[in-house]
Structure 1
Amino acid sequence: MERNLELYDVTIVGGGPVGLFAAFYSGLRELKTKVIESLPELGGKVRGFFPEKIIRDIGGIPEITGEQLIQNLERQAKTFAPTIVLGQRIAYMERQKDGTFLLTSTNGEQHHTRTVILAIGHGTWEVQKLEIDGADQYEGHTLHYKVGSLEHFRGKRVLISGGGNTALDWAHQLEPIAEKVTIVHRREEFSGLESSVTNMKRSSVELLTPYVVKQLYGQGTLLEKVLIEHVGTGETVELPVDELIVSHGFHIDLGPIKDWGLDMMEGRIVVNGKMETNIPGIFAAGDIVYYPNKLTLIAGGFMEGPTAVNSVKMYLEPNAQPMAMVSTHHQAFVTN
């Protein structure tokens, strides 16, 4: 190990919502903190794929866009000036003789830390693309795997392929501005939240189930119509379409971290109530963790991140208080 590497109390791997809030809380606990994000900007999947999606399941915030949420979390995370490293994917971990950890990224850069919090979501992710000949000619023009700007769809005939919460949320947001919104889903039942499904069935959004997209037709990069096929009967229908949004989920890859020796269950890292993994000094929070009755919401991760930070504090300083004071009492927020 290069002996001139700066030693941090905790390195948070992952700069999404959970990692950012954990960084803020780590500052409250006066831990020397580093955040490492594999993407070129903070925010993870929320900023990358859902910047205009309305998020409603965070207590005290009736609604907020993904981009606004990340902007707020980024500002909050920087309260105590953590070191932030972007564009590095951590691949290797080596425990040193003194019990600290040496983390190495895929570009060879190394990071020295006393503890680690893994807040990597589901790891690196790639959208599950539409596997149809010729689909790539429309991608980024009239075929979309994320919604960057709602205004792009104003007055358009929009077809959404998918049946989860993301597909339903996009349909709900596009309904007032698009000429027409249609959802096709390969199952009769939708997998979104019950209230979202109920609202969609009461809306003007056309729901076609169980159908799948089979063929795209258009000129150059512009879609003109889509052929869909009934899963059961094989019946086909042509739909006039200006824009196609595909929401089929993601391919998930933990990468080399899955070889660190961490206990895994259902593709996630097993933790206890203190967010401790089976490796002393390594903790985890957010979508990557598994424990009974886990709440798979951002709000759940906002509890897990501080819990992991408190466990880090106790790991480093066994006589420390098990939890931080209420943040409003912290010296950084007290004015004379």
Structure 2
Amino acid sequence: MNDCYDVTIIGAGPAGLFSAFYAGLRQMKTKIIDNHSTLGGKLHVYPEKMIWDVGGITPILGEDLMLQLTEQAQTFDPTIILEKTVTKIEQSENQTFKITTNAGEIHLSKTVILAVGGGILSPKKIGFSKEEHFEKTNLHYTVDKLANFRDKTVLISGGGKSAVDWANTLEPIAKKVIMTYRKGELTGHEAEIQRLINSSAEIIYHTEIKDVEGDDYIERAIIHQVETDERFHLEVDEVIINHGYDRDNDLYEQSPLEFMMHEQHGLAGSAYGDISVPGIFAAGDSLNYNGKLHLIAGAFQDAANAVNRAKQWVEPDADKVAMVSSHNALLKEKNKPLFEQLSKQ
């Protein structure tokens, strides 16, 4: 546990996973720490959504991209610590970073890459009676499997971009999609809003779910009409709450290091991954700078830049960047079994 690593990556979303791969490529002793039970980060939030904007990859489900990134991240066998939340980062007199988790574990590292996105995400809850009970059956905060909603009456609470996206995705699959929203207009991409309005989905404006009823499963929702203060019941099979997420940035506040935050969101830094604390770098949604590309493709570049900076921090004479894959000796060795497999096909 107390071996000192060259780099410890906090967060295992796209930026963290690609950081792990690239750090291995640069022959760094690498550790990943993440609070989830599996690797993938924010991709867990939308496993059934199609992702179109990763270069060279045709439309791919979030779950499939997560699996491919996970496999790539383990190419050079990094140490992986799951279901642990980093609560504090300190720096010792010899410049080694001391990383503490919620389990009281101590991890030592020469450098750190922060890839925690905008913070640890927790879905915003309404506060139903028996809410935790129904979370085990038919109360959802995201859509894990589309098949679970087939031929069902689905009630979606929310009217933002994600709620609109899920409504459009489920409309051709579900028996009926009903959306309840406190405001009088949906928000999000105009084309997606129009698509939803022109579909068979029912949108009930100026309403909210007040509570739900049922024994083992939610059988009906109590809907409150905000303007008239009236209430009525809706018979439902599945309920999706999409009110956004609470972000936990306690790590920055509880650490004695001076993390400088960007005025919009994330850590203020440079396109190379540098932030206000020397020896700690950032990538993906954790990092913000002029010209930032808020796409998964941008997270990959952030990751490579952060690793290159970390490599030079550990070994000042190291090359600024890794050799490209077509010339890299490490990858040539790993290519051999792949070529052998192709030759047999």
Query: Normalized against structure 2, the TM-score is what?
Result: 0.86
Post-superposition CA distance 1:300-322 (Å, at most 9, x none): 22221112112212323334332
Counterpart for residue 203 of structure 2: 207
Return 5+ residue gaps in structure 1 as ranges. none
1:159-308 mapped onto 2 (5 Å cutoff): 159-217=155-213, 219-234=214-229, 236-260=231-255, 261-265=258-262, 266=264, 268-308=266-306
Shift of 1:235: 5.2
1:103 aligns with 2:115: no
Cα distance between partner residues in 1 of 2:184 and 2:301: 35
Given residue 241 of structure 1, which amino acid in structure 2 is its aligned partner? V
What residue in structure 1 maps to residue 319 of structure 2? 321
Identity %: 42
Q: Distance in 2 between matches of 1:129 and 1:315?
A: 43
State how far apart, in whole Å, the 2-side matches of 1:159 and 1:140 are: 17
Matched residue pairs, number? Answer: 331
Q: Which aligned segments of 4 or more residues in structure 1 are displaced greater than 6 angstroms?
A: none
What is the Cα deviation at residue 179 of structure 1?
A: 0.4
Letter in 2 for 1:16: G
Q: Aligned equivalents of 2:173 and 2:291: distance in 1?
A: 39
Contact 2:32 2:81 in 1 (8 A): yes
Aligned partners of 1:223 and 1:242 also within 8 Å = yes
Q: Secondary structure of 1:256's match?
A: helix
Q: Does 1:19 align with 2:36?
A: no
Deviations 1:195-227 (A, max 9, x none): 43233233322223233222323x313333323
What amino acid is aligned across from residue 248 of structure 2 in structure 1?
D
Kindly report the root-mean-square deviation, in angstroms, between the aligned alpha carbons of the 2 structures.
2.4
How far apart are residue 91 of structure 1 and its match? 2.0
- Aligned equivalent of 1:71, options 67, 72, 83: 67
The residue that corresponds to 2:339 in the other structure is none
Aligned-pair CA distance for 1:247: 0.8
Please state if 1:35 is matched with 2:32.
yes
Instruction: Tell me the SS of whatever aligns to 2:219.
Output: strand
Q: Supply the distance in 2 between the matched residues of 1:181 and 1:61 (Cα, whole angstroms).
A: 31
Contact conserved, 2:158 with 2:180, CA < 8 A, in 1?
A: yes
SS of the residue corresponding to residue 223 of structure 1 reads: coil
Structure 2: stretches of 5+ with no match in the other structure: 337-345
Alpha-carbon distance, 1:293 to partner: 4.7
Match of 1:115, SS state, is strand
Distance, in Å, in 2 between the alignment partners of 1:324 and 1:231 is: 58
Moved more, 19-28 or 309-318: 309-318
Change over 3 Å in CA distance of 1:85–1:136 after alignment to 2: closer
User: Deviation at 1:107?
Assistant: 1.7
TM-score under structure 1 length normalisation = 0.89
Whether contact under 8 Å (1:137, 1:220) holds in the other structure is no
CA drift of 1:177 comes to 1.9
